[in-house]
Chain A
Amino acid sequence: MERKSVLIVDDSSLARMMVRKIFATRFPDWNLVEAKDGEEALSLTSDEVLLALVDFNMPGMNGIELAEKLMERNPRLLVYLVTANIQERMHQRAESMGIGFIKKPIAENKIAEILKSFV
Chain B
Amino acid sequence: MNHWDAKHMHAGSDDLAGPGSDDEMFFLTEMEEDALKEFFNMGLGMAAASLSQMVDNEVLLSLPQLKVVSYAEATRMLVSDSEEKLVAIRQNFTGELTGTALLIFPGAESLELVRTLLNEQMPLEVLVELEQETLQDVGNVVLNAFLESFTQMMSIQFEFEAAEFLKGSGSFLLDISSHLAAQRRALSDVDDSGGERAFVLMMDFKTHDEEETQRTLSGFVVLLFSQHSMEILKRELKVILANL
Whether the pair A84, B34 counts as a contact (CB closer than 8 A) is no
- Central interface residue in B38, B63, B240, by most chain A CB within 10 Å: B38
Q: Are B58 and A105 in contact (CB under 8 A)?
A: no
List of B residues within 8 angstroms of A14 by Cβ? 31, 34-35, 38, 240-241, 244
Q: Are A87 and B52 closer than 8 Å at their CB atoms? A: yes
Residue from A21, A104, A105 within 8 A of B244 (CB atoms): A21
Q: How far is the CA of A13 from the CA of B37 in the complex (A)?
A: 10
A-B contact number at CB 8 A? 60
The interface bits of chain A over 12-45 (1 if a CB of B lies within 8 angstroms of the residue's CB, else 0) are 1111011011000000000000000000000000
Report how far A56 CA is from B62 CA in the complex, Å.
11
In this complex, the interface size class of chain B, counting residues with CB under 8 Å from chain A, is 20 to 34
**B residues less than 8 Å from A12 (CB atoms):** 34-35, 37-38, 41
Q: Is the CB of B58 within 8 A of A90?
A: yes
Contact with B along A93-113 (1 / 0, CB 8 A): 000000000001100000000
CB of B127 within 8 Å of the partner chain: no
Say whether A87 contacts B41, CB under 8 Å: no
Q: Is B46 an interface residue (CB 8 A)?
A: yes
- Contact, CB under 8 Å: A57 / B63: yes
Contact A87 B38, beta carbon cutoff 8 Å: no
Known A13-B31, A14-B35, A57-B63; judge A105-B41 contact (CB<8 A).
no
CA of A89 to CA of B48 in the docked complex: distance in angstroms?
12
Considering the complex, which residues of chain A in the window 71-98 have a beta carbon less than 8 Å from any beta carbon of chain B?
83-90
